[in-house]
Structure 1
Amino acid sequence: MSLEKGKEDLKISNEETSEDDSDSESNLVPLFAEDEKDENDDSCDPTNVLHFQNSAETTLYNFRKEWKSELDSRLKESNAISMETKSRHEQLLHDAATKLFLEGVDCERRGDMWEAVRRYMGAVRMVPDIESKLYSEHSSSNLIEPNDCQRSRSRSLYGSHDLEKVLHKRVIERGKFFEPEFADKPCPVALLPVELLSILMRYIVGSELDVHGLELLSMTSIGFYLLARDEELWRAICRRTFGVKYIDSISFATVTNWRQMFITYPHPYLHGVYIGKMTYLRNGEASFQ
């Protein structure tokens, strides 16, 4: 009897335990279940969905805009740095080419033509148009405004701005082509007639057309300046330089000054040094093929 009673009590306790477990399982709520339920309820609202999409697009647009502006700023900084580096490099290259070119000029003046050509070529390799740049810089730095007082004085005395006419009038007033620098010393050149001096000027130019020497001689005195501006002399120089056919084909209405024509028209200069660069193709040996 006691054994059967014990079995019944155990059965009853097991049934109560199973009932309690079923009740507890029915009362258990999983974690975040209520939140997920609320979110599911909210997601069903179309207004909230549209608002979420708009906010996401706005955020993405702002991000792209900031990213693009950051890239643009970095690109500008890199371009500025590269331009500054490039300009600094070009300036250093220009300075080095200028130094070489001026050294070549000094060597040419001293008669060392080989060193002059070597320095000229080095300068041209660095900056191909270094000669024109230096010429423009030198000419712009040497521009000097004429003095108003001297200009008015020249007008009042001679009434002309042409230097040749002014000097010719001065020679007529003084009655002589040459004047000695010191009055107590003789001037043999002043004793020669003008016709003989004109022939001597042609010999100075010579067959090699030493126009540079002619210009240097014209700087010594008023008389030689006027003789070096003789139109017949410069016409002969132009005939030798450009050719007889070319000179004869030119109308005198277009050419009023033969010296100006010699200066402005392109032609090779026979004094100084020429530098140049030549590129050509050469076929290889047939035996190597």
Structure 2
Amino acid sequence: MNQPGGSSGDDGGGGDGGDDQEESSSSNLNVEDALASFREQWQRELEISPKRDLHKPNKTSNIEAIEEELSIETKAKNLFLKGIEYEQNGELYDAIRFYKRAVQLVPDIEFRLYESTKPKAREKFDKDENKIIFERDRDDDDIDDEEEHEDGDLLTNLSKILAKSQCVCSPRFEQSTMHISALPMEIILYILRWVVSPDLDLRSLEMFSGTCRGFFISARDPEIWRLACVRVWGVNCGNFEPKYRSWRDMYLQRPRLRYNGCYISKNTYIRHGENSFQDQFYRPWHLVEYFRYIRFFPEGRVLMLTSTDDAQSCVNLLKNRYPRNPNILIGYYRLHENRVTLMLKKQETRSNNNIYRKKRKEVAHDSGEQTFHVEFEIQTNQKRANFQLNWVRYNIFTKYKNGQEGTTCLNSSGRYPSFKFTRAKSYTQESEAPLQ
């Protein structure tokens, strides 16, 4: 009895365990199906969502946007160019209409159009010499080769190059502001007249010409050098032909004076000493040194100063045409060939001595009014043209108050040392008017 009951009990227990396993496996399958369907739905939602496009850039859309922008810019440029054509033809109303349409498409279309048409300088690196050669375009290489092989005047060759480039100069680096190359030749020549000024500062003009080939040609303008010659020798200076090749050659080769400095002469003489009980430093002889300074102005005015002071202070006293120092002689000069003749007088000073006259009469010494007539010869000194003035004649004319006149002729041959020219930088720092 016990065995069948036990076996039956075991069978019953085994049947119940199989049912539980079937139920658990079916529930697992349902969960996996639900998860799989959720994943599929989630993937579909991610693909449809617009946020996914932000993480994955679309190249085709970017290219289309760039092409669309370029087409709008091209259309705006065409409209702006049409407006320029209408403006040149005098049709201002239509020009404004096209300008407005172009600006509505691209607000800074004028600046973009200017940048696209502006010539850009490019760099060419030379590895052998470690130098950078800046060229305007490819044709400059051929022009430079032709310049090396072509024999002729330098000015002619550079003029041909300038005519081909149609530009005075080109910027070496990219410029954010207006460059001087944008100015027309007429404005540059007018600026050069300010550089030269009525003081004939042609040294600054020559330094300007060494900047580039365009400025070299501008500084060789015949009108500037013609005005300089007229300023030196007057309206009757004649023509440069046939003795000289150009006005510049005439100015450089013909004897003339220099105006950007002073002619200085050092003079010495020996004076006898005075032996007295008050002279503690008695010397039988004294060596006295003094200097003469002469400055010429292009309009014919001349200043002369005799002083023992240092050169710097004396040169500053001669800076103005109308000096305040009463010791400076003022006069005029005339230039003829290689001779220059000076006529100098002392400045008239107003004194108030007449107001405080004494009752008793005093005997006054009548020194008279003196006029100095001096003549110099212009010579070359150490291969520097027009740097030395040699004495030729020195006369003093005196006119007394009683009407009498007297003349003193001094022997200047070998008696007085020559004048040597010294440039003063302060004389050409400013310019008050252009050369006319």
Normalised to the residue count of structure 2, the TM-score between the two structures is 0.27
Larger Rg computed on CA atoms? 1
Normalised to the residue count of structure 1, the TM-score between the two structures is 0.39
The structure carrying a bigger helix percent of its residues is 1
The structure carrying a bigger strand percent of its residues is 2
